[in-house]
Amino acid sequence: MQSIMRLLCSARSMTVRKGAVCTALCGLAFVSVPHAQATDVVVSIQPIHSLVSGVMGETGEPGLMVTGAASPHTYQMRPSEAQALNAADLIVWIGENMEMFLERPIENLGADAEVVTLHEVARMELLPTREGGLWPDEHDEHKEAHVDEHDDHGHDHGEFDMHIWLDPGNASRIVEVSADALSRIDPDGAEIYFSNADSMLERIATLEASLAEQLEPVHERAFVVFHDGYQYFEHAFGLNTVGAVAVDPGRPPGTKRIVELREALVEHDVRCVFIEPQFPPDLVETLTEGTTVRTAELDPIGVDFEPGPDAWFEMMRALGDAIAGCLGDP
């Protein structure tokens, strides 16, 4: 190619204008063009988008479906997002029990894309869905007995908690399967994807060790969450949550339930009740009024963080800081 360009540029019959154009072409012949994004990638929610973004790195940025404080359970897709699904080469989501709005669109619009359904991925650790409300003391033993290192696709999806990204081990698995999927679709970029994945795995391991050290002094102190969305984080770091305020985040508990919860705060020596930015704090204020129980905010999605490779790490660090701060000594 370079020899042909030199011959073209040296031809005596060229005009000055043609010579100028050819000089530019000759210069381009020596430029090393970086790997261009060869895939259109769509990811459902921000924590997963962050992990996939880290794998893609300099090759491009995946599209994010659910932005801001919107709930993946009730999200309504816009026409532009439907077009993105239709054009996608790769779609990464957790599954129909998390992003309910995506089930039919993926079947209809994403039929030509490779789809990674994360809760079906081999070796993804799955925890059983817990009943809302207060959990009996033996709950943790029951939970441990039902941890499923998933190796097939035959389980009942509704039995399992879908907040899988809050476990650093699962986050590492998401990084690995994303690199595999991207390299299948774009073999020319495989070296970049796997190199980026290795860097992400190192970052995840470093953060996990840091959070374990930070949370160890408070891991036995009891707390209550607004809704049961943190089981994987609790499991990963051995935390002592005793229940959730709302059985269903869409339906506030009644008076009887509030009375039971207030009694439980005393019985279990609860140090903190955590609210979430997606829900009004009035209910928790009513619950803790007249007690010494503290309140703080947890966000399992990371709505306040800029989408991108750092968002998952910032979200996990914020969870650790909030829990350690609220459960720690004054």
| pLDDT (tens digit per residue) in 169-182 | 999 999 999 999 99
Tell me the average pLDDT across 157-165.
Answer: 84
Q: Is the pLDDT of residue 16 over 90?
A: no
CA angle 24, 189, 116 (to 5 degrees): 140
Provide the pLDDT confidence category of residue 147 given band limits of 50, 70 and 90. Answer: very low
d(CA 317, CA 208): 9
In the structure, what pLDDT confidence band is assigned to residue 206 with cuts at 50, 70 and 90? Answer: very high
Q: What is the pLDDT of residue 152?
A: 39
pLDDT of residue 136: 57
Q: Which pLDDT belongs to residue 3?
A: 38
Would you state the pLDDT for residue 248? Answer: 64
Greater confidence (310 vs 140) lies with 310
pTM: 0.81
CA proximity to 92, closest of 114, 60, 68, 120: 114
Give how far Cα 155 sits from Cα of 94, 159, 319, Å.
15, 8, 30
Q: What is the mean pLDDT of residues 136-155?
A: 41
**What's the CA gap between 175 and 197, in Å, rounded?**
6
pLDDT confidence bin for 137, thresholds 50/70/90: low
Q: Where are the alpha helices (DSSP H) in the chain?
A: 2-10, 16-29, 46-56, 79-87, 103-108, 139-145, 168-185, 190-215, 231-237, 255-267, 282-288, 311-327
What φ, ψ does residue 294 adopt, rounded to 5°? -85, 165
